Amino acid sequence: MSVTVHCALSDPFLDCQQSASQRQLAISIQVAAGTGADHAPLNLGLILDHSGSMQGPPLAIVKEAAGKLVDQLSDQDLLSIVVFDHQAKVLLPLQSVSDRDTIKRRIGMLKPSGGTAIDEGMKLGIEEAAQGKQGKVSQIFLLTDGENEHGDNTRCLKLAQVAADYTLTMNALGFGDHWNQDVLEQIADAGAGTLSYIEAPEAAVDEFNRLLARAQSVFFTNAHLHLELLPGVRLAELKPIAQVAPETVELPFQQTGNVVVMRLGDLMSDAARVVLANLYIGAQNEGTIPVVRAFMRYDAPAMNQTGLESDVIHVGATAQNRYQPAPDQQVQKHVLTLAKYRQTQIAEQKLAQGDRQGAATLLQSAAKTALQMGDQGAATVLQENATQLQAGKDLSERDRKRTRIVSKTQLQ
């Protein structure tokens, strides 16, 4: 069982005549091909909104989607279900998935009622799931269709961070068009999970299945990337590190001296995690120079092993008196992925400030960036929204949520 780390600079050559050279370092982390061990069993926690606004087809479809998840789990997997309206309760205490009929009957009894207190559901859901994390891949699916009207959004973010500290990955699913994309994105990012948008009730089953397949592909958990910046190398001052695959996330990090550490969470067998670091390299004499050393530390729940480490990767650059640029096209694509996200974020900020024209201009820029990287789906959504704003029309809640999703990931 192992993890491979591959590093590439946006341009491996430096100009000796420059006092400092800016370079992007792409770090790709992948479960090694041919990993022989089995996946660890799953410890799945569902936190489901059953407030009054879920009445009718929404709750019926969510119950159907949850029931189909049960059918796909193995007897070795654990499941807990917490439901919430303006308060939370345990619908299914943590247990093995052996008596599927009883579990599905319990799910089928769920009725809509009350308001929405997301943080109450999160607290109880984390408490249930935390009991089953030993030797398991632990995932939480949090689904809501509304604002946290009876809760505290700051508390939601803190609870997502607590979940990640417990190696419980928190995924957030927004159902319909009336949930808060800022809050759910922050929950998913802090919880090292993913943000999902269920536009219509009938899409819930497919989205639950997609997230389950993602959870079942996890080999390693609690992964941390360690970077050692070598002499003459420093991080950029503003937002220097971001994840760009499988979705875009601004990554928090801890820096002690020249060592930088960031938490990535789960490592999946079918999708690399790619991190982009923005570096400045000081003036250099001609020749090859060391830039960064990188390695991963991670846990293997199937083997009950913690603190495993990948090989250390040494990254160097070549300083030239007669500089000949050699841009790395794959790294450039990663740079465009991050640019698409940040352009869209600024557009949303301008829209919130009432600057409709400024938002439209930035959405157009983001659409062009998406086209450059071959993301036709995002380009279409972003350009359509820019055109609406230019025509003096407001964006609907659905438009805003599509914008947020395509900014973070590439449509399938």
CATH topology agreement for domains 3-37+220-327 and 42-216: no
| pLDDT at res. 39 | 78
Tens-level pLDDT at each residue, the chain (412 residues): 689 999 999 999 999 999 999 999 999 999 986 655 567 999 999 999 999 999 999 999 999 999 999 999 999 999 999 999 999 999 999 999 999 999 999 999 999 999 999 999 999 999 999 999 999 999 999 999 999 999 999 999 999 999 999 999 999 999 999 999 999 999 999 999 999 999 999 999 999 999 999 999 999 999 999 999 999 999 999 999 999 999 999 999 999 999 999 999 999 998 999 999 999 999 999 999 999 999 999 999 999 999 999 999 999 999 999 999 999 999 999 999 999 999 999 999 999 999 999 999 999 999 999 999 999 999 999 999 999 999 999 999 999 999 999 999 876 5
What interhelical angle do 181-190 and 397-408 show, nearest 10?
Answer: 20
Phi, psi values for residue 372, rounded to 5° = -60, -35
Kindly report the number of other CB atoms within 10 A of residue 233's CB atom.
22
| pLDDT at res. 410 | 77
Tokens of 354: 């009432």
Domain 3-37+220-327 has CATH 3.50.50.60: no
| pLDDT at res. 32 | 86
Rounded to 5°, the CA angle 300-301-306 comes to 55
CA distance 118 to 148: 6
| pLDDT at res. 34 | 65
CA distance 260 to 277: 11
Are 353 and 389 spatial neighbours (Cβ–Cβ below 8 Å)? no
Are 58 and 175 spatial neighbours (Cβ–Cβ below 8 Å)? yes
pTM above 0.85, yes or no: yes
Domain 42-216 has CATH 3.40.50.410: yes
Q: Domain residues of the chain, as ranges?
A: 3-37+220-327, 42-216, 330-408
